[in-house]
């Protein structure tokens, strides 16, 4: 297909007053990045921060896309993987940007998945007390979640995402074509975040995913575009209501209390990808909701059936290697950023598409749930 016949780009506006921006979702965006970014620039150069795997696949397309609008780029290529969201790589990135004399009027481009988006966004937030940045998310997870909404940061040796800032991007370019290059496992991990949106607030979207998920995963680009657009619209609505997570934004953490604990328990290694932990965590959250009599037994059964139909990890039995016991897992949950006054907070559900935040989970019920989940291993 030539670029002239590519389908229309979907624009999702994130309305946050003077921090408003647009998330553009569609095909061929990398190749026309110059035209997209040029209106933001005072001088025709950008700095790009990316990682090795993504650079090999997409940096030249971005370079050509920028060159078409007369924009030059200098790139910093970091190592891939969660370990990059760390103090040493943050220091390296910030010092590199300072050495490139990046000014407040310039644009820093984050080209990569969630790790790069979070790290580069944070570097942009603290460089000269804030420079503008553009997110070019290359994973499904980053397109539907982490590139939108301005959460930026790095991990502490003591826990995930514990150091960071809210810093909204000036533009997000979610190019659907780049999803073609994702390994199947990474795509499905990102799909865990897509399912999360249906589960937390839109039963009809979940139904749509039940009907279209397998074709979407098999490569249908129009379905991918529709899923990304819909998820981003949902996220934008929530972020517009609650930019700094004083209330509703916590709903986006459905599945994350369990998921983060499981990621910590597996050492943030490739034993469990973030989106896999989220999918398993969503199902545990529905199981917990059913145990507490908040939702019907059918709800978790339906979530499990969809994850199974998609070939996704869905239980603790799907995580290779040892896991801590239930008390160890509960201790890991206590590091969650949602903990208030030492009490764990969960996103639970009254039904598919109807979630809420609560601290009201008796430890005994949680312990029983985890005992049973661990028994299945």
Binding stretches for ligand GLY (CB under 6 A): 145, 149, 151, 249, 252-253
Smallest separation, CB 311 to ligand GLY (Å): 24
Look up 313 and say whether it is catalytic.
Answer: no
Residues in Cβ contact with 325 at an 8 Å cutoff, skipping those fewer than 6 apart: 374
Helix or strand run (H / E) with residue 78: strand 72-78
Smallest separation, CB 167 to ligand GLY (Å): 12
Residues in Cβ contact with 135 at an 8 Å cutoff, skipping those fewer than 6 apart: 110, 117, 121, 142, 147, 148, 169, 171, 172, 173
Look up 161 and say whether it is catalytic.
Answer: no
User: d(Cα 284, Cα 193) in Å, to the nearest integer?
Assistant: 15
Q: Which is nearer to ligand GLY, 125 or 369 (CB)?
A: 125
Smallest separation, CB 365 to ligand GLY (Å): 25
Smallest separation, CB 25 to ligand GLY (Å): 17
Q: In 3-state terms, what secondary structure has residue 175?
A: strand
**Choosing from 167, 253, 338, 345, which is the catalytic residue?**
253
Structure tokens at 275: 């989106």
Look up 235 and say whether it is catalytic.
Answer: yes
Which residue number has the CB closest to ligand GLY?
Answer: 252
Helix or strand run (H / E) with residue 172: strand 171-175
How many CB atoms are closer than 10 A to CB 332? 19
Look up 243 and say whether it is catalytic.
Answer: no
Smallest separation, CB 306 to ligand GLY (Å): 21
Where are the alpha helices (H) located in the chain, listed in sequence order? 33-37, 52-54, 60-67, 87-99, 114-126, 140-141, 184-201, 203-218, 221-241, 256-265, 274-291, 298-309, 326-333, 363-375
**Choosing from 274, 291, 313, 345, which is the catalytic residue?**
274
Look up 260 and say whether it is catalytic.
Answer: yes
Asked if 171 and 137 count as a contact pair (C-beta separation under 8 A), the reply is no
At residue 32, what are phi and psi to the nearest 5 degrees?
A: -120, 25
Q: Which is nearer to ligand GLY, 149 or 281 (CB)?
A: 149
Residues in Cβ contact with 270 at an 8 Å cutoff, skipping those fewer than 6 apart: none
Look up 210 and say whether it is catalytic.
Answer: no
Q: Which is nearer to ligand GLY, 65 or 149 (CB)?
A: 149
User: d(Cα 51, Cα 56) in Å, to the nearest integer?
Assistant: 9
**Choosing from 245, 306, 338, 345, which is the catalytic residue?**
245
Asked if 323 and 376 count as a contact pair (C-beta separation under 8 A), the reply is no
**Choosing from 249, 291, 314, 345, which is the catalytic residue?**
249
Asked if 227 and 192 count as a contact pair (C-beta separation under 8 A), the reply is no
Smallest separation, CB 146 to ligand GLY (Å): 6
Q: Which is nearer to ligand GLY, 102 or 234 (CB)?
A: 234
Longest alpha-carbon distance in the chain: 63
Q: Which is nearer to ligand GLY, 28 or 112 (CB)?
A: 112
Look up 306 and say whether it is catalytic.
Answer: no
Q: Which is nearer to ligand GLY, 138 or 253 (CB)?
A: 253
**Choosing from 58, 256, 291, 338, which is the catalytic residue?**
256
Q: Which is nearer to ligand GLY, 207 or 248 (CB)?
A: 248
Look up 160 and say whether it is catalytic.
Answer: no
Smallest separation, CB 6 to ligand GLY (Å): 29
Show which residues are catalytic. 129, 151, 193, 235, 245, 249, 253, 256, 260, 274
């Amino acid at each position: 297909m030539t670029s002239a016949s590519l389908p229309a780009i979907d624009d999702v506006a994130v309305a946050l007053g003077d921090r408003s921006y647009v998330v553009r979702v569609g095909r061929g965006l990398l190749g026309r990045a110059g035209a997209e970014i040029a209106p933001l620039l005072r001088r025709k150069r950008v700095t790009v921060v990316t990682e090795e795997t993504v650079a090999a696949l997409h940096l030249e397309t971005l370079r050509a896309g920028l060159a078409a609008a007369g924009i030059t780029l200098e790139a910093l290529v970091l190592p891939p993987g969660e370990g990059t969201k760390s103090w040493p790589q943050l220091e390296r990135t910030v010092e590199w940007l300072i050495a490139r004399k990046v000014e407040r009027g310039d644009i820093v481009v984050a080209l990569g998945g969630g790790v790069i988006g979070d790290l580069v966004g944070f570097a942009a937030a603290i460089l000269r007390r804030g420079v503008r940045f553009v997110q070019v998310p290359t994973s499904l997870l980053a397109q539907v979640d982490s590139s939108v909404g301005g959460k930026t940061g790095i991990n502490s040796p003591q826990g995930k995402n514990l150091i960071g800032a809210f810093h909204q991007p000036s533009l997000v370019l979610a190019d659907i074509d780049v999803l073609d290059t994702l390994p199947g496992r990474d795509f499905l991990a990102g799909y865990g975040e897509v399912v999360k949106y249906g589960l937390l607030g839109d039963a009809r979207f979940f139904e749509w995913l039940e009907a279209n998920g397998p074709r979407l995963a098999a490569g249908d680009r129009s379905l991918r575009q529709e899923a990304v657009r819909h998820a981003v619209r949902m996220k934008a609505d929530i972020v517009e209501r609650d930019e700094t997570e004083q209330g509703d934004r916590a709903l986006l953490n459905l599945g994350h209390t369990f998921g983060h604990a499981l990621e910590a328990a597996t050492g943030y290694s490739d034993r469990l990808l973030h989106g896999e932990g989220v999918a398993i965590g969503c199902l545990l959250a529905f199981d917990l909701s059913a145990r507490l009599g908040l939702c019907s037994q059918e709800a978790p059964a339906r979530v499990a059936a969809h994850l199974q139909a998609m070939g996704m990890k869905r239980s603790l039995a799907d995580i290779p290697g040892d896991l801590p016991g239930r008390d160890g897992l509960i201790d890991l949950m206590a590091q969650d950023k949602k903990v208030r006054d030492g009490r764990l907070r969960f996103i639970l559900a009254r039904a598919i598409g109807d979630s809420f935040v609560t601290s009201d989970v008796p430890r005994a019920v949680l312990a029983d749930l985890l005992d049973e989940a661990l028994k299945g291993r």
